[in-house]
Amino acid sequence: VEASIPEPQRAAWTKHQVGGFKDKDAFESEVVRHVETTLARSLYNCDETAAYSATALAFRDRLILEWNRTQQRQTFSDSKRVYYLSLEFLMGRALDNAMLNVEQKDLAKDGLAELGFRVEDVIQQEHDAALGNGGLGRLAACFLDSLASLNYPAWGYGLRYRYGIFKQEIIDGYQVEVPDYWLDFNPWEFPRHDVTVDIQFYGKVLTETNDKGNAISQWEGGETVKAVAYDVPIPGYATPTTNNLRLWSSKAASGEFDFQKFNSGEYESSVADQQRAETISAVLYPNDNLDRGKELRLKQQYFWVAASLYDIVRRFKKTRRPWREFPDQVAIQLNDTHPTLAIVELQRILIDLEGLEWDEAWNIVVNTFGYTNHTVLPEALEKWSVPLIENLLPRHLQIIYDINLYFLQTVERDFPGDSDLLRDVSIVEESEPKMIRMAYLAIVGSHKVNGVAELHSELIRTTIFKDFVRIFGPDKFTNVTNGITPRRWLHQANPRLSELIASKTGGHGFLKDLTALNKLELYIDDKDFRKEWAEIKYANKVRLAKHIKATTGVTVNPAALFDVQVKRIHEYKRQQMNIFGAIHRYLELKAMSPEQRQKQMRRVSIFGGKAAPGYWMAKQIIHLINSVGAVVNNDKDIGDLLKVVFLEDYNVSKAEMIVPASDISEHISTAGTEASGTSNMKFVLNGGLIIGTCDGANIEITREVSQDNIFLFGHLSEEVDDLRYAHHSGDHVVDPKLVGVFEEIENGRFGNPKDFSDLISAVRDHGDYYLVSDDFSSYVDSHAAVDEAYRDQEGWITKCITSVSRMGFFSSDRCINEYAEGIWNVEPLDTTKDKTA
């Protein structure tokens, strides 16, 4: 349907178009208008929450205009688009980001001040959009920021969960999960009740023979659920581009409820249908790096993938191009294997609905998709049971079997007689029940597969996917090292540092070309610069100290070394090693004479992170950290020399406060287990140093900042297999320092030892899979080196400035440009040639 306004009436539209705020007056009048009309309140009834709501609405109105223009520009230019499919988008707060990206925060600050509010307080009113677990979801959010900032025509597609990641409360030292109901008031989304897709589940496959004698399959779904689009504008930094994140929400297909059922007295069951439909997008699965194989999760995946593909195909069809040009118009990136069914769904659309031949369709599919792998951990590699898929998506299972058949035929042709190879690479695992290996399906159905850091990409080529490198050749497998957006993770999180850098590098250009940070090295001996640098770090620590006091009651000294480990709690990330190290430090301090003690460095050990609700060991780790804190923080002998704190409910907005306040942060995963890590980049970019293993992106950070500016320790990834094997050969000896730590825990020094016995026995009795004991003494030594380095404050500041100046590589802009060139074959749009004007 043509809905465009005819030429004669367009002038009236142009005349009334909404623009950016001309000045703070214009901004203020919009805020007041929203308070008084949209919110129906007044100056007698306007608290910080209302001020936030009105400010957010004022900026939203401004964004939506650029967003409309961006969509028009992209449609008119007819260029290839990128679609980033991710089950998680960990966006955090939007207002501060929007104000900064459109470069109007100063104006808003002054305007709000005139209306009686502090912009910092107003920003704090916003609830985080927490539609993700950890690094994978935050990476997707950084990518959206870079795609918009670099003017790529790009859309994100995800699910609009009613409940994001749970809120964590710490009660008596234990994690308690509280639902995160975040949609009460969300000014950042636009419901598109006119953009809906009917999604089928269950049902059966009907097969007929057509006039050419070919079998034609049609899936007749047994249950229909409606997908409704909600659009979230994504403003680029200092550019007119405002891209779109489209999140799907599930609704009963028959509207409110089934009136037939209602009229025939089945009121309850009609409401139940509605609830069953809404359950699909109700809640984010709270597991990080873990696959649990639940049917509802599979339903979420298909629901989201099918709605997104319908939307993408609908948009392509408007161009009236032949199908073979689909991959010239569309690049779809799969964020891990969660959206792998998109490969099957596109093949189904092309052969069952559009009537293409299998080979032609498959060619289109493979050229459209790229797959990013984010882990080698076996427990995180998705597999779906064949009976589950057969029941929920019977036609898709048939297509998966056909994809596998044709794939195995090519393998048999190229490697005749290698039946081990056939079994090993089959998409169908011959287990009981049979399982579909989603990573293998993603590899076979994509033209490029990438890992997220050099080591990780090398590991997938040589271990979990090595057979596929033989089959497809090495060029299909590539690396794109992760990055982070400097807009949120420097400019927004650390405004004073951003200003200082701008003053030395010739303005804020470094936020668009992060390699410009290298100009800082020229000022390494500039006294005033160094002093200002140190003052900023100190001020950030004072702010965090206040937060620690307010939320935990513990007083920490901002002059102490702040040692931070914040990330999801996981055995492979080894928070247990960190807290064992803190206990070791405590025991050493206790054994010293008071004179000796006073010569020691002061430390605050800061932890934060959520444990998956069903992850018993992770929950024990949280409990141990809190139990150690309760003893150490109240020990008069120790005072400021050591504090141990656990920060409740770590999330994106807390990270924005914590990251700039760290002196040293911990990235200490067992070598080979952390695919990349991205907080390591954030900490260094904010003038903190890191202690870490030779794992993930730590290795490339070392390459950039040099060995002298990072504290590396522990065994290498190539040693891990042998060590694990040795642990089971009988002569496994636990590190003596660690034995001392275990003794004190078992003596009840930190509460009931039974509460922590599984943490100890994992190391001592069950093979120490994560090599905590193997790495413990080098870990302790490395911390001693940190203390010594910190003692030399001038030397420390030199290390920090040098490191920051060399962090340009880790911008997500660099990363997105690599995807665009090496995987998507898309180019940025020239926003200066606005064809719609």
Supply the residues annotated as catalytic: 374, 567-568, 573, 678, 682
Rule CB under 6 A: say whether 696 interacts with ligand GPV.
yes
Q: Which is nearer to ligand GPV, 457 or 620 (CB)?
A: 457
Spatial separation of the C-alpha atoms in residues 609 and 619, rounded to whole Å = 11
Q: Which is nearer to ligand GPV, 340 or 482 (CB)?
A: 482
Residue 246, C-beta contacts closer than 8 angstroms, at least 6 positions apart: 155, 156, 157, 158, 229, 230, 231, 232, 308, 311
Write the single-letter amino acid at 16: H
Q: Which is nearer to ligand GPV, 284 or 745 (CB)?
A: 284
On whether the CB atoms of residues 111 and 61 are closer than 8 A, the answer is no
Spatial separation of the C-alpha atoms in residues 818 and 644, rounded to whole Å = 41
> Which residue of this chain has its Cβ atom nearest to ligand GPV in the complex?
135
User: What separation, in Å, do the N-terminal and C-terminal C-alpha atoms of the chain show?
Assistant: 23
- Compute the CA torsion angle 531, 534, 536, 538 (nearest 10 deg): -130
Which residue in the set 226, 299, 374, 476 belongs to the binding site for ligand GPV (CB under 6 A)?
374
Residues 652-656: contacts with CB under 8 Å, at least 24 apart = 652/90, 652/91, 652/92, 652/93, 652/128, 652/130, 652/138, 652/141, 653/92, 653/93, 653/126, 653/128, 654/566, 654/608, 655/92, 655/493, 655/566, 655/679, 655/682, 656/92, 656/488, 656/489, 656/492, 656/493
Spatial separation of the C-alpha atoms in residues 248 and 701, rounded to whole Å = 37
Site for ligand GPV in 228-267 (CB under 6 A): none
Rule CB under 6 A: say whether 164 interacts with ligand GPV.
no
Tell me whether strands 369-372 and 448-451 are parallel, antiparallel or unpaired: parallel
# binding residues, ligand GPV (CB under 6 A): 19
User: Smallest distance, Å, CB 285 to ligand GPV?
Assistant: 10
Which residue in the set 536, 675, 690, 786 belongs to the binding site for ligand GPV (CB under 6 A)?
675
Span of 228-236, 439-447, 676-684, 786-794 interacting with ligand GPV by CB under 6 A: 676-684
> Token pair of 359, please?
């080979």
Span of 134-142, 166-174, 422-430, 623-631 interacting with ligand GPV by CB under 6 A: 134-142
Which residue in the set 101, 678, 717, 812 belongs to the binding site for ligand GPV (CB under 6 A)?
678
For 288-303, letters b (16+ CB in 10 Å) and e give: bbbbeeeeebbbbbbb
Spatial separation of the C-alpha atoms in residues 792 and 170, rounded to whole Å = 37
Rule CB under 6 A: say whether 693 interacts with ligand GPV.
no
Rule CB under 6 A: say whether 649 interacts with ligand GPV.
no
> Token pair of 729, please?
């050969």
Q: Which is nearer to ligand GPV, 134 or 370 (CB)?
A: 134
User: Smallest distance, Å, CB 770 to ligand GPV?
Assistant: 14
Q: How many CB atoms lie within 10 A of CB 328?
A: 13
User: Smallest distance, Å, CB 568 to ligand GPV?
Assistant: 7
Spatial separation of the C-alpha atoms in residues 317 and 313, rounded to whole Å = 6
Span of 419-427, 575-583, 674-682, 750-758 interacting with ligand GPV by CB under 6 A: 674-682
Q: How many CB atoms lie within 10 A of CB 825?
A: 14
Span of 255-263, 372-380, 403-411, 760-768 interacting with ligand GPV by CB under 6 A: 372-380
Rule CB under 6 A: say whether 123 interacts with ligand GPV.
no
Residue the block writes with tokens 């080591």: 455
Asked if the peptide bond before residue 433 counts as cis, ω within 30 degrees of 0, the response is: yes
Sign of CA dihedral 81, 82, 86, 88: negative
User: Smallest distance, Å, CB 675 to ligand GPV?
Assistant: 4
User: Smallest distance, Å, CB 716 to ligand GPV?
Assistant: 17
User: Smallest distance, Å, CB 482 to ligand GPV?
Assistant: 5
User: Smallest distance, Å, CB 171 to ligand GPV?
Assistant: 26
Span of 527-535, 671-679, 708-716, 786-794 interacting with ligand GPV by CB under 6 A: 671-679
User: Smallest distance, Å, CB 286 to ligand GPV?
Assistant: 11
User: Smallest distance, Å, CB 343 to ligand GPV?
Assistant: 18
Rule CB under 6 A: say whether 452 interacts with ligand GPV.
yes
Spatial separation of the C-alpha atoms in residues 333 and 369, rounded to whole Å = 6
Rule CB under 6 A: say whether 676 interacts with ligand GPV.
yes
Which residue in the set 107, 228, 380, 816 belongs to the binding site for ligand GPV (CB under 6 A)?
380
> Token pair of 377, please?
């951990």
Spatial separation of the C-alpha atoms in residues 441 and 399, rounded to whole Å = 11
On whether the CB atoms of residues 774 and 723 are closer than 8 A, the answer is yes
Span of 129-137, 191-199, 428-436, 597-605 interacting with ligand GPV by CB under 6 A: 129-137
User: Smallest distance, Å, CB 701 to ligand GPV?
Assistant: 12
Q: Which is nearer to ligand GPV, 573 or 783 (CB)?
A: 573
Rule CB under 6 A: say whether 301 interacts with ligand GPV.
no
Rule CB under 6 A: say whether 327 interacts with ligand GPV.
no
> Token pair of 663, please?
């002196």
Which residue in the set 677, 692, 714, 828 belongs to the binding site for ligand GPV (CB under 6 A)?
677
Spatial separation of the C-alpha atoms in residues 519 and 500, rounded to whole Å = 12
**Angle of CA points 405, 407, 409, to nearest 5°:** 70
Rule CB under 6 A: say whether 145 interacts with ligand GPV.
no
User: Smallest distance, Å, CB 819 to ligand GPV?
Assistant: 13
Q: Which is nearer to ligand GPV, 222 or 293 (CB)?
A: 293
Which residue in the set 92, 111, 134, 714 belongs to the binding site for ligand GPV (CB under 6 A)?
134
Residue 593, C-beta contacts closer than 8 angstroms, at least 6 positions apart: none
Rule CB under 6 A: say whether 666 interacts with ligand GPV.
no
On whether the CB atoms of residues 306 and 345 are closer than 8 A, the answer is yes
User: Smallest distance, Å, CB 670 to ligand GPV?
Assistant: 12
Starting at the edge strand that comes first in sequence, how are the strands of the sheet with 711-712 ordered? 642-647, 603-608, 561-566, 664-667, 689-692, 711-712
**Angle of CA points 831, 834, 837, to nearest 5°:** 145
Rule CB under 6 A: say whether 274 interacts with ligand GPV.
no
User: Smallest distance, Å, CB 672 to ligand GPV?
Assistant: 11
Q: Which is nearer to ligand GPV, 151 or 335 (CB)?
A: 335
The DSSP element (H or E) to which 820 belongs, if any, is none
Sign of CA dihedral 42, 47, 50, 54: positive
Residues 774-793: x/- map of binding to ligand GPV (CB under 6 A)?
A: --------------------
Which residue in the set 175, 289, 485, 626 belongs to the binding site for ligand GPV (CB under 6 A)?
289
What's the count of helices (H) and strands (E) in the chain, helices before strands? Answer: 34, 24
Which residue in the set 54, 94, 139, 789 belongs to the binding site for ligand GPV (CB under 6 A)?
139
Q: Which is nearer to ligand GPV, 313 or 569 (CB)?
A: 569
**Angle of CA points 705, 708, 710, to nearest 5°:** 65
Q: Which is nearer to ligand GPV, 380 or 668 (CB)?
A: 380
Which residue in the set 482, 498, 540, 575 belongs to the binding site for ligand GPV (CB under 6 A)?
482
Spatial separation of the C-alpha atoms in residues 597 and 265, rounded to whole Å = 78
Q: Which is nearer to ligand GPV, 99 or 699 (CB)?
A: 699
Q: Which is nearer to ligand GPV, 589 or 655 (CB)?
A: 655
Which residue in the set 336, 571, 663, 768 belongs to the binding site for ligand GPV (CB under 6 A)?
336
In the complex, which residues of this chain contact ligand GPV (CB under 6 A)? Answer: 133-136, 139, 288-289, 336, 374-375, 380, 452, 482, 674-678, 696
